[in-house]
Amino acid sequence: MRNVFYIFLFAFNCVVFGQNNKQLNVVFIAVDDLKPTIRSFGDANAITPNMDMLARKSTLFLNAHTQQAICSPSRISLLTGLRPDKTQVYDLKTQMRDKLPDVITIPQHFKLNGYTTAGVGKIFDPRGVDKQSDGVSWSLPYKRAHQLKYHKDWGPPMVGYYHNHQIKEKIKSIVKNKNIPPSKVGDFLKTIFRPPFSSSPAPDEAYPDGAIAAEALRMIDDLSNKRKPFFLAVGFKRPHLPFSAPEKYWNLYGRDRIPLAAFQQRGSNIGRLAFKGPGEISKYPMDDRFYTTDNNGQLNLDTEFQRELVHGYYACTSFIDFQIGKIINKLKKEGLMNNTVIIIWGDHGFHLGDHRIWTKHSNFEQATRSPLIIYNPRTRAAQKIISPTEFVDIFPTLTDMAQIVPPSNVDGTSLLPMMMGQQQSVKEFAVSQYPRNNKMGYSFRTAAYRYTLWIDKSKIGQKISGKDIVQEELFDYNTDPLETKNHIGIASYNKVYNDLKSKAMTFLSPAVKSSPKLDLVPVSYDKGIKDIISDKGYDPEQVYIGATLNHRQLNTKVSDLFLEEFTYSTPENCAKQGRIHPKPGVWDWKPLNEYLDFADENNIVLRIHGPISPQASHWAKTDSRTKEELEKNMVEYFTALCKRMNKESSVMWMDVVNETITPEGFWFEEKPGVEQWENPWEQIGRDKNDVPLYITKAFQIANKHATNKSLVFNQHGGMEPKMWDKVKETILYLKKKGYRVDGLGWQAHLRSNKPLALDKKQLVYLANLIDWAHQHDLDFHVTEIDYQIMDSSNNLKALQDQAAAYSNILKVLLSKRKNGVVTFNTWGMIDKNTGRHHDKFRFIFDKNINPKPAYFALREAIIKPDNKLILK
């Protein structure tokens, strides 16, 4: 095995490097019933200084939505990464493991991957799990609120909520006069006296959430002293009803300035299934406070009562914010902020009188939308994400950040590519659902709209048609953020309506359960693609077909699958500047060395994808960076990479530059900030011929230090003539200056909504591009190919189009194999695996490692490369 070398320029950088590469801890904070009443989320009334402080170094997801707006179903969905239709938990009484005995939860998965997992407070709803709060999820015994230490002078609150003297005395009197046994007090008070809000001079630690925070601090002390990384879950109980908190938090707000819901009636043309009655809040009776209802059976509370309730909600939110602040300060004090992920989430939103609804239990925006804050210690970048996200995305995001593989069946998508500024969005819509009577409502929230349809519960999991829909809603948040009007039936919205309805029905229809059978030439499946290539007599020095792996997939089932199929590979990201030398004094060769070892041990030929490109570190993208700093970092990194790779026998090719030119034929330049897709190296300058200096400098370094390797000019895009004309012009310019350029690469990131691979004109352009490369003594590489199914349907037609796209590109490539070297590399192996760019069913094996139609189509293309292309 290789030795791993780390270069340290200064003692300080040595410390930072060690922290950045240490396995990350996770502090996982749940807040019951928290809507985005947080100042950093845009609520100017909220007093939340601690979450706001963390937000300055975190990613805020402003359009995040729960899968079902009620405690237990929401939490079980989030903690398993599965939608409610898979967990089959829709209520507060169903136990998770009664439905899915072997389901893997987030803490359980981290435990199985070497973490010490511990929890305190309310993470799962206790009604949905065993008495140990799902004991298999935790390394240490879980601690519930009633098991904690409370303030020695005050003790725990009465019936779990109240320290207010008058309220406590009245409860004592009721219990005594009614002779209520202790085990029945809570249920009995729901109909007699259980105030929806209260305050007292008691200290934080006399309330459950203060005791939870205090215990969390003690747990951090204990966990930080262990050798293993830790996953600490902290679940706060407020601002769930009743709104009980120390009076100092109530005093932060003036009652007369408390905002009330602006729209307190039923919107026009909205069906009854969208609404709910008094429900939960009516179980908090109080003298002189009345839960009156209107003719529709909805609450119609007087203004003063509303203000008291909303005041209590804000007070409890501030109370929780200060408890979160204690945890953050503890992590700072213990030096853990550099290697601890912090995630804060509310389990769903909360109605505070809008639509005359209180609490949750709906598919309206106020119920489904909840705050999500993720602090990444490796970037500490402040950004706000406005594209739709879902709570099922949290599981794969955390595993992605911790660099562990998630369970194969999770429904969510990692949000890390957005957090790293590599993608603007990961999905078109978030999906929430809520049952009402014998109906189920599914709500699809895009960036601007919400489309909701209601069907009979008996149709769940079945293919549905328009006649199965019993009610629909369409809201436009650009013009109607309060959801005052259902826009279905309005002619100007017909296009939006038809589009969202079609996508919703596709989403709800049963997914393809297994790869459909294709009419292919019979080939024994015990032979992999590498064996078919050999059997068909392809020149092993002219034709290379392989796939990319992430270094975290090495020595897993995925790499085992790779070895059955291929002998050529490209490491996904471990050779890039952002990984190896992201800033001065920081180097990390370990992931790349592991990949090189894998290649050596298994006789794999490699192309190293570590080009000078937009895929740069945040340090490089920082606006204040000087051209001298950028050039120094670039030269250090690329010189070291070339020198090392030049000695590696498994490495045949190296990408030198990538994504240098826009589709319009312009140089790809820098942009403000660090979160956008930009090329910071352009700032180094241009030569007298207007060619960026980083391009010539990169080829100068490669020509000098990678003398044994084939050097590739790589480019991302479609078949845009202006872009490729500029690429050709630049390659010829480099050759004229005396630099060796050995190959032309194309990153073929195909999409179902762009017909490139199924369009004859564009395939002819590709064929001519390959001819041009060979005519100029260049190998031609399809360096990265995948095909995204953009509507998330994953149905038979979509999979067949995907298969045709893969097959067409390979057939065009193989048709040129006698003129020069051709290579074909799929940018991954299996769908929805950990890491970036693995969503939208884009690869040739499904998430359960079953071959898809695309896999069989590639085999057929190799066997019969002269078969006709499949065109639209």
If you write DSSP's letter for every residue of 487-525 in order, what string do you get? Answer: -TT-GGGHHHHHHHHHHHHHHHSPPP-SPPP-------T
Structure tokens at 229: 């990384």
* Pair 323, 214: CB distance under 8 Å: no
- Computed from CA positions of residues 569, 570, 571, 572, in that sequence, does the dihedral angle turn out positive or negative? negative
* Pair 235, 209: CB distance under 8 Å: no
Prediction pTM value: 0.61
Element (H, E) at 51: helix 49-55
Per-domain boundaries in the chain: 1-22+573-741, 32-430, 437-508
- Cβ neighbourhood burial of 173 (10 Å; 0-12, 13-18, 19+): exposed
Q: Are strands 605-608 and 710-716 parallel, antiparallel or unpaired?
A: unpaired
Q: Round to whole Å and give the CA distance between 824 and 814.
A: 9
* Pair 369, 349: CB distance under 8 Å: yes
**3-class SS of residue 568:** strand
Task: Tell me how far apart the terminal alpha carbons of the chain are, to the nearest angstrom.
Answer: 50
Q: Round to whole Å and give the CA distance between 522 and 88.
A: 41
Residue-by-residue DSSP string for 838-861: --TT-SSB-TTSPBPHHHHHHHHH
Distance of CA 584 to the CA centre of its chain: 29
CA angle 867, 533, 537 (to 5 degrees): 85
Strand order from edge to edge, sheet including 116-121: 116-121, 230-236, 25-31, 340-346, 372-375, 59-61, 383-385
* Pair 250, 311: CB distance under 8 Å: yes
DSSP 667: B
Sequence-distant (≥ 6) Cβ neighbours of residue 179 within 8 angstroms: none
**Peptide bond just before 242 cis, omega within 30 deg:** yes
Element (H, E) at 443: strand 439-445
Q: Which residues of 367-399 are buried (b: 16+ CB within 10 A; e: fewer)?
A: bbbbbbbbbbbbbebbbebebbbbbbbbbbbbb
Residue 815, CB-side half-sphere exposure with 13 Å CA sphere: 18
**Given this model, what pLDDT does residue 615 score?**
82
Residue-by-residue DSSP string for 457-487: GGGTTS---GGGEEEEEEEETTT-TT--B--
Structure tokens at 158: 């009465």
**Given this model, what pLDDT does residue 404 score?**
84
* Pair 680, 424: CB distance under 8 Å: no
Strand order from edge to edge, sheet including 449-456: 430-436, 439-445, 449-456, 469-476
Structure tokens at 572: 């996904």
DSSP 69: S
Q: Round to whole Å and give the CA distance between 373 and 835.
A: 20
**Given this model, what pLDDT does residue 509 score?**
85
Topology, domain 437-508: Arylsulfatase, C-terminal domain (3.30.1120)
- Computed from CA positions of residues 741, 742, 748, 754, in that sequence, does the dihedral angle turn out positive or negative? positive
* Pair 714, 749: CB distance under 8 Å: no
Closest CA to 425 of 392, 461, 385, 378: 385
Q: Round to whole Å and give the CA distance between 152 and 177.
A: 29
Q: Round to whole Å and give the CA distance between 673 and 679.
A: 12
Low-confidence ranges of the chain (pLDDT < 50): 1-21, 512-525, 833-835
Sequence-distant (≥ 6) Cβ neighbours of residue 601 within 8 angstroms: none
Question: Which residues on neighbouring strands pair with residue 268, listed in sequence order?
Answer: 485
Q: Round to whole Å and give the CA distance between 348 and 368.
A: 6
Residue-by-residue DSSP string for 137-177: G-SS--B-GGGS---TTT-SPBTTTB--HHHHHHHHHHHHH
- Cβ neighbourhood burial of 819 (10 Å; 0-12, 13-18, 19+): middle
Q: Give Dmax over CA atoms of the chain in angstroms.
A: 100
DSSP 623: T
Count the neighbouring beta carbons within 10 Å of the beta carbon of residue 768: 12
Structure tokens at 645: 């790779």
**Given this model, what pLDDT does residue 675 score?**
81
* Pair 59, 383: CB distance under 8 Å: yes
Q: Round to whole Å and give the CA distance between 297 and 281.
A: 14
Element (H, E) at 767: helix 760-775
Structure tokens at 5: 């070398």
* Pair 553, 559: CB distance under 8 Å: yes
* Pair 665, 658: CB distance under 8 Å: no
Q: Round to whole Å and give the CA distance between 75 and 392.
A: 10
Structure tokens at 516: 């459909």
- Cβ neighbourhood burial of 706 (10 Å; 0-12, 13-18, 19+): buried
Q: Round to whole Å and give the CA distance between 36 and 369.
A: 8
Structure tokens at 749: 């990131």
Q: Which listed CATH number (3.40.50.970, 1.10.357.10, 3.40.720.10, 3.30.1490.100) goes with 32-430?
A: 3.40.720.10
Distance of CA 623 to the CA centre of its chain: 26
| pLDDT, tens digit (0-9, with 9 covering 90-100), for 419-434 | 998 888 999 999 999 9
Phi, psi of 539 (to 5 degrees): -65, 115
H, E, C per residue of 185-221: HHHHHCCCCCCCEEEECCCHHHCHHHHHHHHHHHHHH
* Pair 754, 718: CB distance under 8 Å: yes
Q: Where are the beta strands (DSSP E) in 386-426?
A: 389-390
Q: Which listed CATH number (3.30.70.890, 3.20.20.80, 3.20.20.120, 3.40.50.2000) goes with 1-22+573-741?
A: 3.20.20.80
Q: Round to whole Å and give the CA distance between 7 and 3.
A: 13
Closest CA to 807 of 748, 756, 855: 855
* Pair 232, 26: CB distance under 8 Å: yes
